[in-house]
Amino acid sequence: MFGISSIYILDQKGRVLITRQYRNELPMNIHETFNKKLLEFDEYTQKPVMIDKDGYTYIFIRHNNLIFMTVCSQNANCLMIFSFLFRLVQVLQEYFVNVEEESIRDNFVVVYELLDEMLDNGYPQTTEFKILKEFIKTESFQLKEKKQPEQSNFNVVALVSNKISWRKEGIKYKKNEVFLDVIEKLNMLIGQQGNVIKSEIIGQVQVKCMLSGMPELKLGLNDKAFFEAQGRQSRSRAVEFDDIKFHQCVRLSKFENERVIQFTPPDGDFELISYRLDIRVKPLFSVDVLIERKSATKIEFLVKAKSNFKPKSTANNVEIFVPVPDDAEQPQFRTAHGSVNYMPDKEAMCWSIKQFGGQRDFMMNAVFHLPTIVSPNRDKFQKMPINITFEIPYFTVSGFQVRYLKIQDKSGYNALPWVRYITQNGEYQIRMN
Amino acid sequence: MSRPSASTSSSSRSSRSRYGKEVKELQDALNQNKIESKRDAIRKIIDAMTRGKDVSMLFPDVAKNMETSNLELKKLVYLYIINYAKIMPDLAVMAVNSFRKDARDKTNPFLRALAIRTMGCIRVKLITEYLLDPLKESIKDEDSYVRKTAAICISKLYDVSPELIEEQGLLKLLENLLNDGNAMVVANAVCALLIVQESKGTTMLQLNPFTIQKILTAMNECNEWGVIYCLDALAMYIPEDGKEAEAILERVSPRLNHNNPGVVLSACKIMMKFLDYLQNPETIRQNALKMTAPLISLLSLGKEPEIQYVALKNINLIIQKRPIIIEKDIKVFFCNFNDPIYIKLQKLEVLAKLANNDNIQQILHELKEYTQEVDVEFVRKAVRTIGRCAIKLEKAAEKCVTALWECLKTKVNYVVMESIIVIRDIFRKYPRKYEMILKDLCENLKSLEDPEAKASMIWIIGEYVDTIENADTLLANFSENFKDEPANVQHQILVAVMKLFLQRPNDGKELIHNLLKTATIECENPDLRDRAYIYWRMLSTDPELAKKIVFTERPTISDSSYTIENELLDKLIENIGNLSSVYTKKPESFVKKLRDVLNSKIADKIDDVYDQDQLMDGRPEDYSDQQGGQSNVYDNTYDTSSQIQSQIQQQQIQQVSQKIDLLELDDNQPQQQQIPQQQQQIPQQQQIPQQQQQIPPQQTQQPNQTQNVRIPFAEVLSVNTPGAQSQIQGLSVEAAFQKNGDKIVLDLKITNKTQDKTFSDFGIKFNKNPFKLQPDAIEIQCQPVFPGQTQVTQSYINTNGPVSEEPPQMPYKIQVAFKTNLDVFYFFIPMSLSVLFSSTASITQQKFIELSQAQNLARKQEVLQIQIDPQRMKEKLERNYFFLIGVRKDERGVELLSYAATLVNGMALLANVIHTPTAINLQLQVPHPTLMPLLYQAIGFILTLN
């Protein structure tokens, strides 16, 4: 069992913003060794785990202009460390919204306090924001707190090691409500001929919980395995989850045995479920690009976009990124729908359509001038994929549905669950070539 | 460190006094009664501490505030104490009382836990014993938060004083915590026991059915990190029988649904290990399949690449052990355009493993797609993966060969070369089966830059001399440059020509004769020469035997070279999620024992002290008598006189030794402490082994001559550049020509970035150049450079070399050949003209006027955008032998300063300088226009770098 020997938060230039050392044997300036090591690679070839000549391993992630780096001198559990680093960033985001050099510098005292609580001797302890915020407060948090009666630290402490560590007792709401947001992201890779190479749905259920007391919740989904466990006939649209993961409040053994999702929720916002479905879906959008080289200095694109979902749904904020030669210039666009922008930094043009109804198709025509001196990477664009971003409200690709949400509390109040569905793009790409 | 000291004494004095004021202010603030002012003061102190400034002199004042009732202030004070206690163990004792008091606070468990946690971080042996009583009490604390902190604290103190902890029976108490009613306490106790177990080397966590139950129960209730500790402990358990293993698996498998990737992989680790104990194949299958979806989820697109990377490394191990787990889901291993390269390469690795006769069509289609991408490394690996599939799957080999055939037709250089290498392997595996592509292969002979591809192609020709009609002409072409080819290509040429001769004696007769002659007489490579001799003798004694030997049957090749042997695999499976699995190495092979690391670090550490820009200077005892001290906490510019610095270094060394002392490594302690304070840097440096020593003594012993501008190192040979014979790459050289007094020297910094090669026997030679530069000796005095090492060396240069008529170009570079034991490297070293200024020849005012009126001089006006006063500029230029000749005023009354320098070859360079408030105007006059930019650059260097 090996943990983190030291942790650093470094700025872009490798200067130390925050550091805690947990072992004596590390050189004081080990981050400089790391910085040098980092320079051996460019950003493209850097691996996130590196070992130096002395056998120290550096495990690091980047976030905005920061590097979160840990040093290990032993055979540490590195996935645990990565998970911790990402969780650390998450917690800092909850505290400062933007986690960047500025906010870390301004709040370094809070960051130290957090680290002290989150890592003991290099071993992760508590990383739940909802608990941490109870006893580590920034100035803005403190201001709010003064309005409420002072809480004794005792309760807080109980929280950290309690069985239900994610919720404190005595929460009160006038109106008891729960909001569920079902968000599905569609990852899709489509070949030149419109054939689906891979498709995958990453879904999550985000909960905003405004309930009093210590309620017990039971959530029913149209889960195929659940119907089967119950011995019922699977109904027309039941979803077969490939993988489903829960917030730590859900009783895993109960789910494993009975496929029942039962939990006492934390207060406020949290992600209850994340799931993955590996089902074959028809492409929601297909895009055809016809490229014509009119002359050596002129290239014309004819882009045809088609939506394949039901006519009653509408996609919002559709943006289609079509790669163009990196030295293209003087764009001329013609389309009846939406607007087109040239984005030279992305080597692409972006066609945005505010509302894209189901079963519709739109055309766009673009002409670029090409300089006579040919850029060495001019043909690279044909190997880059077309990217699409979109949002379709009131719709889940998988057919995921919340059947019920039962809320029970000792005090016996009535509570209202609200459910919203939305489908978004994940990595939605179409190969050009 | 090398900053000039004379000019800075005044600024250092002012910063010292400013600094003293700051410290005084902080002290006052800390001693006030107002919490706010105290808090602000200590915030400032901690800020400075983080930035590497030394604020240890404030220890007494800060420590006074430990007893505050304000929790925030207290935390800050603790943070400060943790940081400085190890440098100041004597003072840390001051803190003990406060810890003891806090740890026994009746009202606030949070305070108790904070004290316990913090005191464990103070790794000072001296105070450990004072902390034992409160620690013992805290283990029995009524509050679980305190108990869980205490558990970890025991493991911390064990690191500092193991004997004491054992004597006092704390380990027994820690074991008892496994029976605690609170899950988090149990998890932390498990964690602590494992930590102690590692450093002690004997089993601490007794794993038996009883403790296993405890851990399993705790795992159900504690938070995600606790779950990981429990799982990693369970993974060490050896179940008694299949039944027990199955029961544990049943409890562990729900953890696969956890959303923390660390938990998922730790659960997989147990599953993988325990499956070996099950008998019923159906149970094994079911349990194995439980891992499929969670593992794939680790790779879904939303996941961070870092997580995916570790997951892929582990999946690669898991599927080798139990392929059933991921059989169908090959699509997740298809590369996304935006995946970082390290993910893409890893995915190809897995795809090659997963390929079978059912999915090969799909995989091939995808791989072909990748061969058209832009990233060279990725494309090559994709081609190679196609080849691996061909060798692995006999039935699919034809499809793979067709795919490679298409690759050949792309005519993209690196694709073709990689394809040829891969096809060679396929020909070896399936002899005489795919001759149809020979024709297309032979069309690509021109573009073979990569020696491996070239050698492969020649091997193929040799193998098919009977089929390829013009094999003799092709081989003759290849043999033309025989002497200049790298060794592996030479070998292949020799073998191929031999085959040609044996198969088609008439066509090969002349060729083999010439080749054997060249190889035996003119080649220096002993392997090649010997082989040629053997062939020769074989041919002259028994040609039939030669045929048998040359065309002997070769062992077949398989894809197994990519699989890990079972013993190692099992070891790695036990380490799923750990670094071991990422490096695919046993833990022992990359983890050094603490002591080894420390021993090697002692020397380095002293180096570090010299290198560091921000020294942690000043210590409390100095502070009291220097009133303000020389350290400047709030001043980024670091200016202290050299005398004080050497004193600081002395202290640094003492600090280092003190630190070492704390770890009880007296036997390895260096002798620095005995060096008297007055001694200067040089003798100390010489005591340091390694790097520092390599710098020739001239640099340090002639400090007065380091006044010449120091030209910064430029990278002249990058790691990726192969040597002339393309045998090796991984050598990086940085170089700079310097003027050292009246000598020209070449500083070289040689870095070895290979994994396993050692460079030695360095030599250098210059190409002809306009200033007739050449090194005094071809050999370079330098130790061998081992992998990962850097050596710095210096060579003297004279100006008696052969001359080149070509005028110097901008930037002025000298081409050199750099010899090593392994290969010769060619590169250019840039040079500043300032190095060539003669130190002796001066120009009189008379001569200056004469020269400036000469007709054949090139003239140019330049502006340098720097601010510098005339006096300072004169100093700088004259130090570099650019002399002030005179000052005069022109017709408008503007002051004109005339400077001149003579080059080593006698050419005169003239400059008239006019100072303006924002810049300096230069009128340059040189005998040849190509020197103009060089002179301008040189002046720039002198004025800005010095």
* Shortest distance, CA A69 to any CA of chain B (angstroms): 13
Position B307 scores a pLDDT of 94
User: Where is A207: in which H helix or E strand?
Assistant: strand A196-210
Q: How confident is the model at residue B268 (pLDDT cuts 50, 70, 90)?
A: very high
CA pair distance A354, A406, nearest whole angstrom: 38
Can you tell me the mean pLDDT for A250-255? 84
* Shortest distance, CA B216 to any CA of chain A (angstroms): 12
Q: How confident is the model at residue A161 (pLDDT cuts 50, 70, 90)?
A: low
Q: Which residues of B touch A113 (CB under 8 A)?
A: 72, 75
Name the percent of chain A lying above pLDDT 90: 40
pLDDT tens digit sequence for B90-102: 777 777 888 888 8
Omega within 30 of 0 (cis) for the link into A283: no
pLDDT tens digit sequence for B43-56: 888 888 887 788 88
Can you tell me whether residue A201 is helix, strand or coil? strand
Residue scoring higher pLDDT (B673 or A245):
A245
Residue A19 burial (C-beta neighbours within 10 Å; 0-12, 13-18, 19+): buried
C-alpha closest to that of B484 among B271, B727, B307, B695: B727
- pLDDT of residue B87 exceeding 60: yes
Q: How confident is the model at residue B701 (pLDDT cuts 50, 70, 90)?
A: very low
Q: How confident is the model at residue B825 (pLDDT cuts 50, 70, 90)?
A: confident
* Shortest distance, CA A314 to any CA of chain B (angstroms): 25
| pTM of the predicted model over 0.80 | no
Q: What angle do CA A196, A197, A203 make, to 5 degrees?
A: 80
Of A130-134, A214-218, B148-152, B525-529, the least confident: A130-134
Number of Cβ within 10 Å of residue B261's Cβ equals 25
| One-letter amino acid of B161 | S
Position A139 scores a pLDDT of 59
Position B193 scores a pLDDT of 92
Position A91 scores a pLDDT of 92
Report whether B854 contacts B906 (CB < 8 A).
no
Q: Do A49 and B310 touch (CB under 8 A)?
A: yes
CA pair distance B74, B837, nearest whole angstrom: 63
Name the percent of chain A lying above pLDDT 70: 92
| B256: region left, alpha or beta (phi > 0 left; psi from -120 to 50 alpha) | alpha
Residue scoring higher pLDDT (B823 or B660):
B823
Position A342 scores a pLDDT of 93
B209-221 vs B242-252: helix crossing angle, rounded to 10:
10
CA pair distance A259, B124, nearest whole angstrom: 53
Q: Most confidently modeled of B362-371, B595-604, B811-820?
A: B362-371
Q: Do B228 and A44 touch (CB under 8 A)?
A: no
The beta-carbon neighbor of A25 closest among B262, B338, B594 is B594
Kindly list the strands in the beta sheet with A329-335, ordered across the sheet, starting from the edge strand earlier in the chain.
A285-295, A298-307, A361-369, A329-335
Position A162 scores a pLDDT of 58
| Torsion over CA: B148, B150, B153, B154 (sign) | negative
Can you tell me whether residue B759 is helix, strand or coil? strand
Q: Which residues of A touch B113 (CB under 8 A)?
A: 157
pLDDT tens digit sequence for A307-341: 999 898 999 999 999 999 988 889 999 998 999 99
| One-letter amino acid of A48 | P
CA pair distance B513, B250, nearest whole angstrom: 74
Q: Do A198 and B604 touch (CB under 8 A)?
A: no
pLDDT tens digit sequence for B203-262: 888 888 899 999 999 998 888 899 999 999 999 999 988 899 999 999 999 899 888 999
Position A341 scores a pLDDT of 93
Can you tell me the mean pLDDT for A19-48? 83
Position B608 scores a pLDDT of 39
CB contact set of B23 (below 8 Å; sequence gap of 6+): B57, B58, B628, B629, B633
- pLDDT of residue B731 exceeding 70: yes
CA pair distance A164, A160, nearest whole angstrom: 9
Q: Which residues of A touch B592 (CB under 8 A)?
A: 54-55, 73
Position B823 scores a pLDDT of 82
- Cα distances (Å, whole numbers) of residue B29 to A139, A206, B23, B33: 21, 48, 10, 8
Q: Which residues pair with B771 in a beta bridge?
A: none
Can you tell me whether residue A250 is helix, strand or coil? strand
Position A157 scores a pLDDT of 53
The beta-carbon neighbor of A163 closest among B221, B300, B331 is B221
Of A153-162, A195-204, B271-280, B374-383, the least confident: A153-162
Position B295 scores a pLDDT of 93
Position B913 scores a pLDDT of 84
Q: Which residue of A has its CA nearest to B145?
A: A161
CB contact set of A36 (below 8 Å; sequence gap of 6+): none
Position A351 scores a pLDDT of 95
* Shortest distance, CA B331 to any CA of chain A (angstroms): 6
Of A299-303, B15-19, B545-549, B828-832, the least confident: B15-19
CA pair distance B848, B869, nearest whole angstrom: 23
What DSSP string describes B285-324?
HHHHHHTHHHHHHTTSTTS-HHHHHHHHHHHHHHHHH-GG
Task: Give, as one character, the DSSP assignment of residue B761.
Answer: -
* Shortest distance, CA A175 to any CA of chain B (angstroms): 30
Position B249 scores a pLDDT of 92
pLDDT tens digit sequence for B556-583: 777 766 778 888 898 899 999 898 888 8
C-alpha closest to that of A287 among A386, A183, A155, A173: A386
State ipTM: 0.78
Can you tell me the mean pLDDT for B28-36? 80
On average, the pLDDT of chain B sits at 79
pLDDT tens digit sequence for A76-127: 899 999 999 999 999 999 888 889 998 888 888 889 989 988 999 899 998 8
Position A207 scores a pLDDT of 94
Q: Which residue of B has its CA nearest to A196?
A: B331
Residue A140 burial (C-beta neighbours within 10 Å; 0-12, 13-18, 19+): exposed
Q: How confident is the model at residue B696 (pLDDT cuts 50, 70, 90)?
A: very low
- pLDDT of residue B668 exceeding 70: no
Position B707 scores a pLDDT of 59
Can you tell me whether residue A184 is helix, strand or coil? strand
Question: Which of A17, A69, A80, A131 should be substituted to probe chain B, the one whose Cβ sees the most B Cβ atoms within 10 Å?
Answer: A80
Of A137-146, B126-135, B349-358, B633-642, the least confident: B633-642
Position B142 scores a pLDDT of 87
Can you tell me the mean pLDDT for B196-202? 83
Instruction: Say which residue the tokens 């009354």 belong to.
Output: B893
pLDDT tens digit sequence for B632-642: 333 333 333 33
- pLDDT of residue B685 exceeding 50: no
- pLDDT of residue B837 exceeding 60: yes
Position B648 scores a pLDDT of 42
- pLDDT of residue B40 exceeding 80: yes
Can you tell me the mean pLDDT for A144-157? 44
Residue scoring higher pLDDT (B534 or A155):
B534
Position A355 scores a pLDDT of 93
Q: Do A156 and B110 touch (CB under 8 A)?
A: yes
* Shortest distance, CA A174 to any CA of chain B (angstroms): 31
Q: What are phi and psi of A243, to 5 degrees?
A: -155, 135
pLDDT tens digit sequence for A347-403: 899 999 999 999 999 999 999 999 888 888 888 888 889 999 999 999 898 888 898
pLDDT tens digit sequence for B333-355: 999 888 889 999 999 999 999 99
Interchain CB contacts (distance < 8 Å): A and B: 273
| One-letter amino acid of A137 | K
- What does DSSP say about strands B858-864 and A196-210: parallel, antiparallel, or unpaired? unpaired
Position B681 scores a pLDDT of 43
- pLDDT of residue A165 exceeding 50: yes
Torsion of CA B440, B445, B446, B451, to 10 degrees: 130
Q: Do B587 and A255 touch (CB under 8 A)?
A: no
Q: Which residues of B touch A398 (CB under 8 A)?
A: none
The beta-carbon neighbor of A75 closest among B46, B262, B587 is B587
- pLDDT of residue B590 exceeding 60: yes
- pLDDT of residue B309 exceeding 90: yes
